Structure 1
Amino acid sequence: MFDYSVIQFIQTYAHQLDKPLQIEILNLYKRFKRAPEFLQHRLGPLFMHTVKLSVIVEFEDMECQKQSVQQLQHSLTTNAHCQFKNQFSSVPCCSVDVTLAALADLFKSHSTVRKVHLNRQVQALLDHAIPSVQADHVVRNNNQLTGQGITIAVIDTGVYPHSDLEGRIVHFVDFINRRSAPYDDNGHGTHCAGAAAGNGAASGGTYKGAAPKANIIGVKALDRLGAGSLETVMQGVEWCIEYNRNHPNNPIHVISLSLGSPPQRFKEENADPMVQVVERAWQSGIVVCAAAGNSGPRDRTITSPGISNEIITVGALDDRNTQHTRQDDVAADFSSRGPTPYGETKPDLLAPGVNIISLRAPNSYLDRSQSSRRVHPSYFSLSGTSMATPICAGIVALMLEHHPHLAPNEVKEKLKNGTVQWKDINSNLYGSGYINAENSI
């Protein structure tokens, strides 16, 4: 009976359970199957009514979500092992903790449920940059562009209040520990913030980001180990959309996402909830830059949400520490390659991503575990498409400082048209080429 109930559940609702969730249920089921056979009939009901799954419920549309959420909240209160967690306002989704029995009831009583997704893990993507992309001295109308007046939201592990960002961390929100003051217990987010907007104050200007006067908003969606979930990252992106609705005169202009998870194979790319929410941000007027991933040199390894055909997906270039010579430059071996599972050419472009020196978050997880990467009391060296992405975000800030009314699609077009191609390149490896601030602006 135990075998029948679980297998029947998966077979009955396979079209509404995403593949990772099906695998998770089967893995949990296999653990229960190790128990003696004479206990199996008792374990069936126990398994169905007590084993808890963290999921994202996707409805057919926003109207269906409004109609169903209140009913869903009420029904979950009758089960001690279930909990309604979060309702999203930009995409027709909510996050819940449910048992298999409650999930079966959900499918039976809510015909508007399109898909249930495992609240899968999302990871920070880790494995002489600014002059090499000609972003260190961009002058227009006799003014040097610095990103002043532009705000970049770094959705990551947090932001440490480093001296190179002094006075420019204008907001901070924490979806992991719910703290209000800026901090970074991992170090990854601080490094990314510095690559985008550090001003080099602690190094006499030596180690500065692409937009050294841009503002930073820290959105902590990943924990001390650099891990988060579909839910926390979606909450972070949605918070940015809501922030702009509430602050129309001082909005977030750019989102930098140096994170990702393996893409799931849906019928179309925007069936992925992560892709849905970043595309909502894009459509609301926020330029979104996302890391391609660090699973190269294999093809078809672009991570989600970088698989989106709308946002800017950034791969990593190894510039061999040469500022003005392109001939020896190559795509970093770790940088993920396209095409996406949907046949889209990705990444869109490359930015420096090897041995990038940026801000150190003292006593953070990376600072302690990789102390050999310390370059200076205030700086740290890391490699990855995580580092390339905020450099791109910083260059976008320069573009928007000069052309404040550019729409996200126009920014993307100018970035791609301004790249440098120095040899016959594979577009699913190099994208349109190597980012160049002067050309794009």
Structure 2
Amino acid sequence: MRTMWPNVFRSVGFLVYVICSVAGSNQEQRTNSDVLVQFREYRPLAMHVDWLQSQLAQRWKECAGNLSIGIGCQWKVRSRRNLAVPKFPTDFVALSVAETFVSSVLEQLASQDVVKKVMLEKTFTRTLKFESEKWESGTDASHQRSLNSRFGAEDLIKSGAGPFSAPEVWQKGVTGRGIRVAVFDTGLRGDSTLFELELERTNWTDEDDEFDDLVGHGTFVAGLIAGIHPECPGIAPHAQIVVFRVFSGTQISYTSWFLDAFNYALYSDIDILNLSIGGPDFSDEPFVEKVNELSAAGIIIVSAIGNDGPVLGSLNNPADMMDVIGVGGVDFHGGMANFSSRGMTTHELGYPFLSYGRVKPDLVTYARSLFGPSHKGDHCTKLSGTSVASPVVSGAIALMLSSIPTQYRREISNVASIKRALIDSCKRLNGASIFEQGAGLLDIPAAVEAMEIVASETFRSLSDTSSAMTHEQGHVYRKPEGPPVALFPSFLDLSEAGCPYMWPFCSQALYYGGVPLTVNVTIMNPTGLKSRILWTRWISNDPNEVVDVSLTPPARFWPWSCGLGVHFRVAKEVEREMVLYG
């Protein structure tokens, strides 16, 4: 692989200048005695339980039936009453262990070859704050008229009004049809009149037989993606919503609920998975690894970047992961929303990485005072936060995917190709750095066009036009060759002219003999799950080699993305101003 980006260096004398929602915040904490045992292989739950019993019964007594821990017994398998357990194999077991024996149990199980990981389970708590209960019919705000409409679907198309300019692509027949979007949230209100297509609902909480949304957030999020409410329509009205109720009515969830729901999603032919949740702790390894597994399976995961801004380094997980599309928020004046979390990522700042954080969020969209359906009646309500920005992007991706012919969609549908189309089509905001806005503001019509370009590149290898494949809208696609590898950021302007977008790099002085400046660039390869980097080379117009640039890529990466370290060091003293490119 060859890396070649224009970069600007300015030197003078011995000095070288090298240029989730306010609506839902989440907190995580460890439970005292709930343990997750993750295995290396998927097997029926009963087989894993039998093995655990053979291992633990030698030292600790199992609590049979409804017997509580501590009354003559020390551990038990926690019940998991959901669709995944009886239907599909699993890779984990949830245990409850007496607190005094937790460390011993963890140590014994972790030493076994069949066990991949043993960890204490995490709890997720969400607190929702609705800005107002109801959108009154007389409401007249400019952003409501521009982003939402009071018309029915056909009138939206005729009038050109609607959410986020989506009707521009609806007019071309691109409406999200054939795309299945999973919504992991608080459920959905009882009736299904909000959506064009029949819904699938699943409940993963410990509230048996409860499928309704008792909170309101899940209904709002699903409606933003594909709702057909005439006063607050969704982005992709013909997409099919698959509801995963992973938060209880008291807004509590656990890692094990997510893991079971994730496993079920792997078998459910899901295209996009919306996670309007997050937490500051990226060390919940079973959760993080399952997200990567879903991404490797071709599921596009979209997640809110968090509402802990404007502090830098306040990103939430999983939106900060490489193979997740992390969404930040802006207000209706085009400025960064104060609550939107900022980059850079903090995964790489500690041992064993000792590197520089990556750029996140990936992009931003409007996140303040959005309107969506209420769970309490047939009216619209208002929410703010990155947790309502995330479904806007999920809806946009549903439109992007539905613009590709069905028979060829799977060949190019992965997070690397989707992210490339989004990045290429975003509009950069003035006054915000790359660690605040990522690639910039979502532009739905431009994103659909960019997706069609990516698709065209994928199929361009056929020279015989007689065997070319034609899209319903008249676009011609050819046999797969594979889109090129993409870099983000693809261009670095490290001079003062690069500010404020390239801040802080554009404001950092690099001295001869000083510490190198490092930029962590994300490589995205949409052509394969397992990638190997053969070689890298820096090419520049610096014949005197004043600036030494070294590249540190990983030898291999999985599934779609990796970080490329780019290190700038002043190698010689200079006495004149110069501009260098590479």
- The verdict on a shared fold, with TM-score over 0.5 as the criterion, is yes
SS at match of 2:181: strand
Higher relative contact order (CA 8 A, sep 6+): 2
Q: Which amino acid aligns with 2:345?
A: T
Structure 1 residues not aligned, in runs of 5+: 1-18, 26-52, 244-250, 320-327, 364-376
Offset of residue 395 of structure 1: 0.5
Q: Corresponding residue for 1:107?
A: 107
Alignment correspondent of 1:120: 122
Name whichever of 271-280 and 66-75 sits farther off. Answer: 66-75
The match for 1:197 is 226
**Match among 162, 168, 178 for residue 137 of structure 1:** 168
Shift of 1:174: 0.3
| Secondary structure of residue in 2 paired with 1:281 | helix
- In structure 1, what is the equivalent of residue 429 of structure 2? 422
Letter matched to residue 361 of structure 2? P
Which residue identity is paired with 1:348?
A: D
Alignment-derived partner of residue 341 in structure 1: 346
What does residue 403 of structure 2 align with? Answer: 402
Residue matched to 1:3: none
Q: Is the 8 A contact 2:106 2:119 kept in 1?
A: no
| SS in structure 2 of the partner of residue 236 of structure 1 | helix
CA distance in 2, matches of 1:91, 1:231: 11
User: Which of residues 249, 257, 264 in structure 2 aligns to 1:239?
Assistant: 264
Displacement after TM superposition at 1:177 (Å): 4.3
Counterpart-to-counterpart distance in 2, 1:329 and 1:109? 52
Residues 189 and 334 of structure 1: CA distance in aligned 2, closer, same or farther (over 3 Å): same
From 76, 90, 100, the counterpart of 1:83:
76
Asked whether the 8 Å contact 1:353–1:383 carries over to 2, the reply is yes
Deviates more, 1:123-132 or 1:377-386: 123-132
The structure 1 residue matched to 2:253, chosen from 218, 228, 234, is: 228
Q: Distance in 2 between matches of 1:252 and 1:208?
A: 22
SS of the aligned residue for 2:399 comes to helix
Aligned match for 2:441, one of 430, 434, 441? 434
Identity within the alignment, %:
25
* In 2: Cα distance, 1:125 partner to 1:294 partner: 12
Instruction: Give 3-state SS (helix, strand or coil) of 1:421's partner.
Output: coil
Deviations 1:169-195 (Å, cap 9, x if unpaired)?
A: 421110114656741111110000001
Task: Choose which of 67, 71, 95 in structure 1 pairs with 2:51.
Answer: 71
Report 1:241-320 matches (<5 A). 241-243=266-268, 251-264=269-282, 266=283, 272-319=285-332
Distance 1:284 1:207, change over 3 A: same
Say which SS state the counterpart of residue 438 (structure 1) adopts: helix
Q: Please state how far the C-alpha of 1:97 moved relative to its aligned partner.
A: 1.3
CA distance in 2, matches of 1:173, 1:119: 22
- CA deviation after TM superposition for structure 1 residue 419, in Å: 0.7
Moved more, 155-164 or 333-342: 155-164
Look up the match of 1:216. 241
Q: Would you say the 8 A contact 2:178–2:402 is kept in 1?
A: yes
**Higher share in helix:** 1
Asked if residue 413 in structure 1 is aligned to residue 420 in structure 2, the reply is yes
Instruction: Spell out, residue by residue over 1:246-283, the C-alpha distance to the aligned partner (whole angstroms, 9 max, x if none).
Output: xxxxx22111111122224x5xxxx7222211221111
Counterpart CA distance in 2 for 1:117 and 1:300 is 26
The answer to whether the 8 A contact 1:314-1:385 is kept is yes
| Separation in 2, partners of 1:282, 1:396 | 15
Q: How far off its partner does 1:63 sit?
A: 7.8
TM-score, normalising length: structure 1: 0.72
1:124: how far off?
4.2
User: What CA deviation, in whole Å up to 9, does each residue of 1:41-75 have, x standing for no partner?
Assistant: xxxxxxxxxxxx1122345x338999965321445
Query: 1:379 aligns to what?
Result: 380
Question: Relative to 1, partners in 2 of residues 1:63 and 1:190: Cα closer, same or farther, differing over 3 Å?
Answer: closer
Structure of greater Rg: 2
Answer yes or no: is 1:331 the counterpart of 2:336.
Answer: yes
Cα separation, 2, equivalents of 1:63 and 1:146: 37
Distance 1:315 1:293 in 2: 7
CA distance in 2, matches of 1:108, 1:422: 53
Whichever residue aligns with residue 332 of structure 1, its letter is A
Out of 371, 374, 388, the position equivalent to 1:360 is: 374
> Who is 1:40 aligned against?
none
Contact 1:196–1:391, Cα closer than 8 Å, also in 2: yes
**Alpha-carbon distance in structure 1 between the residues aligned to 2:437 and 2:413:** 24
Q: Deviations over 1:204-225 (max 9, x none)?
A: x331111112111110000113
Opposite residue 111 of structure 1, the aligned amino acid is S
Give the secondary-structure state (helix, strand or coil) at the position aligned to 1:261: coil
1: CA distance, partners of 2:189 / 2:109: 46
Q: 2:185 aligns with which of 156, 175, 185?
A: 156
Distance 2:109 2:259 in 1: 26
The 3 A distance-change label for structure 1 pair 123 and 390 is farther
The code of the aligned residue for 2:62 comes to: N
Q: C-alpha separation between the residues in 2 aligned to 1:71 and 1:256?
A: 35
Aligned residues: 354
Amino acid at match of 2:95: V
